[in-house]
Amino acid sequence: MSATSRVLELTSPPPLARELLRAAVARRPSRPGEVPRLEVKLRHFSPDPVQLARYREVCGFPADGHLPLPFPQVLAAPLHIALLNHPDFPYRLLGMIHVRNRIHQHRRLAEGTALSVHTWVEGQREVRQGRELELHTHVEVEGTRVWSALTTMLRRLPSADARPREPKPVSPSAVTEEDTLFANSRPASWTVPEDTGRRYARASGDYNPIHLYALTARLFGFPRAIAHGMWTVGRCVAEMGEASEASALTLTSEFRRPLLLPSRVVFQTAPRNDGAVAYRVRAEDGQPHVQGVLSPGA
């Protein structure tokens, strides 16, 4: 198939390390450009059991015979990168920022199930920091959709400040609606080791240099390596136990600030009146890293 075709049909996932290398050497204009509809389809493949075991270990999921709720996002990541590496995509992949994620699971997936994945990107919208675009992912089993996700990415533009934001002091007297929700939550303190990014890279295949070492992260403006956002989400879901093991679920996640490695963070959950569970991960000084909601039903 032509390299400029806008629908790529694959028989196996593209190696993520290769796609990241392509992204590293790509040259694209920094000015805004049209984002056409680009699609990748991968049919009838089964997750690698070794990769699944590594993912469970680094995030804390039990080996219960089913795919963890966020795991199909890991499977789709090479397809997302292939989309963003497409010759018709107007921006460089490096520098794209994952800002939000929404997952719908219609039923639990048994490990070893043959899956078909269809992912696409189309269009963009202007925001204060630059341009946002969305990656759509559908996972099917024998023609029935069982899982889907909407991944929101941000491309900062030259007119926006592309440097990582410095944390702002939190006023002790500033009480938000979110703080009220979590007021009766028992916080859990996590130590996130320096090698978390490398361990998750071995599980996910995502060897983006910003996650690996302080030296490589500094090349992109970070003082230390930062945790993968989807590792943080996976770790949170694993901690939610039975709530994350229902058949039909919706998981929303918002990435607020990078989680530098190593770090100590605080994880909290809080039940809501609608049956959902809110969750968040914050630094010990109160700065937010990730927050979201796990809801029953898809």
Q: What is the CATH number of the domain that holds 48?
A: 3.10.129.10
Where residue 26 falls among pLDDT bands split at 50, 70, 90?
Answer: confident
- Residue 167 included in any domain: no
- Residue 202 included in any domain: yes
- Residue 153 included in any domain: yes
∠ at Cα 235 (219, 273), nearest 5°?
125
- Residue 168 included in any domain: no
> In terms of C-beta density within 10 A (0-12 exposed, 13-18 middle, 19 or more buried), how is residue 53 classed?
middle
Mean pLDDT of the chain: 89
CA–CA dist 63, 23 (Å, integer): 34
Q: Number of folded domains in the chain?
A: 1
Please write the tens of the pLDDT for every residue from 282-294. 999 999 999 999 9
Where residue 102 falls among pLDDT bands split at 50, 70, 90?
Answer: very high
Please write the tens of the pLDDT for every residue from 161-183. 544 454 455 554 455 777 788 88
When computed from its CA atoms, the radius of gyration of the chain, rounded to whole angstroms, is: 19
Contacts of 209 (CB under 8 A, 6+ apart): 216, 217, 219, 220
Q: Which of 70-84, 171-185, 237-251 has the lowest mean pLDDT?
A: 171-185
Phi and psi of 193, rounded to 5°? -70, 165
3-state class percentages of the chain: helix first, strand second, coil last, to nearest 5: 25, 35, 45
pLDDT at 162: 47
Mean pLDDT of 209-237: 95
Please write the tens of the pLDDT for every residue from 181-192. 888 888 999 999
pLDDT at 31: 66
Please write the tens of the pLDDT for every residue from 245-264. 999 999 999 999 999 999 99
- Residue 63 included in any domain: yes
- Residue 261 included in any domain: yes
Beta bridge partners of 45: 115
Q: Are 276 and 246 in contact (CB under 8 A)?
A: no
**Residue numbers of the domain that contains 69:** 7-157+175-296
Q: Are 294 and 277 in contact (CB under 8 A)?
A: yes
pLDDT value at 267 more than 50: yes
- Residue 1 included in any domain: no
**What's the pTM?**
0.88
> In terms of C-beta density within 10 A (0-12 exposed, 13-18 middle, 19 or more buried), how is residue 27 classed?
exposed
Contacts of 278 (CB under 8 A, 6+ apart): 178, 181, 182, 269, 270, 271, 272, 291, 292, 293
pLDDT value at 1 more than 50: no
Relative to beta strand 7-10, strand 38-45 is parallel
Where residue 57 falls among pLDDT bands split at 50, 70, 90?
Answer: very high
pLDDT value at 69 more than 90: yes
